[in-house]
Structure 1
Amino acid sequence: MTAPQSKANAATTHQVKTGDTFWNIGKKYGVPVKSIMSTNNKTSHLLLVGEKLVIPQNVTNAEIDLLARLVHAEAKGEPYAGKVAVASVVLNRVDSSLFPNDIKSVIYQKDQGYYAFTPIQNGAINQPADTSAKEAVKEALAFRGMGNGSLYFYNPKTAKSTWITSREVTITIGNHRFAK
């Protein structure tokens, strides 16, 4: 699955410096590596010092902040990799035909009267994100479209749904199981 193309025109340009990689550039700007490569017609990971890359804007700053607040609330106390994985679940849902096609709609989606994410229900989404959650979101954005396709996560110690525990587990990180 490829990341969706930009919602807006190119946000900026980046002049390649010694040591730059597509991964580092993607993390810096919070943009999928695949989108940077596609926008710049790159078919290999070769970068030349001094070349200018167009950095597409795929996600707004408001969406990044909302996603970081969700990650902060959902994955507080979890390992950094778990925070990246929580952000990736939201992005995978945006890219899936089974869910709404933007971050805000995915985060605020209701099913049978309940929000999909507990922090919406309990108001924790309104707390500011910490640095770790913000960095995890940027990493998840850079990684977008390259993961194992997890669409769900849950804590097996607290999950009450037998449906969620029937989903194929893709990875366990900290107290969360990720599934599709």
Structure 2
Amino acid sequence: MTACAKQPAPGVTVDGREAECLARAMYFESHRSSRDGMVAVGSVVMNRVDSEAYPGSVCAVVAQPGQFAPGVTSRPMTSRALPLVREAATSVLVGERHPLVGNAEFFHAASYSAGYNNMHYVLVTGGNAFYEKRAPHLVKQPTPPRPIEGLTR
């Protein structure tokens, strides 16, 4: 575990089922490409949990149809990256957030080019572009910024 990773405070427990659901979203959506990418995906999940527009639990958010990778709740996770994925999920559950995700509740593959005028991009990391949906006149960053890594380490 890195110095920047948050560990549960003494007496604080992390729900194992919620940790597994978050780890699954991070694993399948970030392609285990970077810790920043995993924490950014986890930050989006937590933003959705905190929003009244989405279910109020990690597992319910991750299981929403059409929102995350197909089979996110059921496909096997087999990778040497699993310890890092699980550490990052625990860290997000106890409060770590990617510092540039802010209020973003959405992301897509960085290679995808969307043609909508309401996407305010905040970050590209771990192979994904993260954005907030805004009224078009409030969009200040309509294209994905340059990728950045290494902010969560």
Counterpart code for 2:96? F
Go from structure 1 to structure 2 and tell me whether the alpha carbon gap of 1:124 and 1:151 turns closer, same or farther (over 3 Å shift): closer
Structure 1 match to 2:55: 100
Q: Which runs of at least 4 in structure 1 moved beyond 4 Å after TM superposition?
A: 144-147
Pair 1:162 & 2:115 matched: yes
Asked which structure has the greater RCO (Cα within 8 Å, sep 6+), the reply is 2
What secondary structure is seen at the aligned counterpart in 2 of 1:178? strand
Find the aligned partners of 2:118 and 2:60 in 1 and give their Cα distance.
25
Structure 1 match to 2:7: 28
Structure 2 match to 1:14: none
Residue from 67, 89, 94 that aligns with 2:44: 89
- Provide the TM-score with structure 1 as the length reference: 0.58
Shift of 1:139: 2.2
Residue from 22, 26, 43 that aligns with 1:71: 26
Structure 2 match to 1:117: 68
Which residues of structure 1 form unaligned runs of 5+?
A: 1-20, 30-35, 37-52
Structure 2 match to 1:151: 105
Structure 2 match to 1:42: none
Checking the alignment, whether the CA contact within 8 Å between 2:49 and 2:57 is kept in structure 1 is yes
Shift of 1:54: 4.3
Structure 2 match to 1:131: 83
What is the identity percentage for the equivalent residue pairs of Structure 1 and Structure 2? 25
Counterpart code for 1:117? F
1:8-47 residue pairs with structure 2 within 5 A?
A: 27-29=6-8
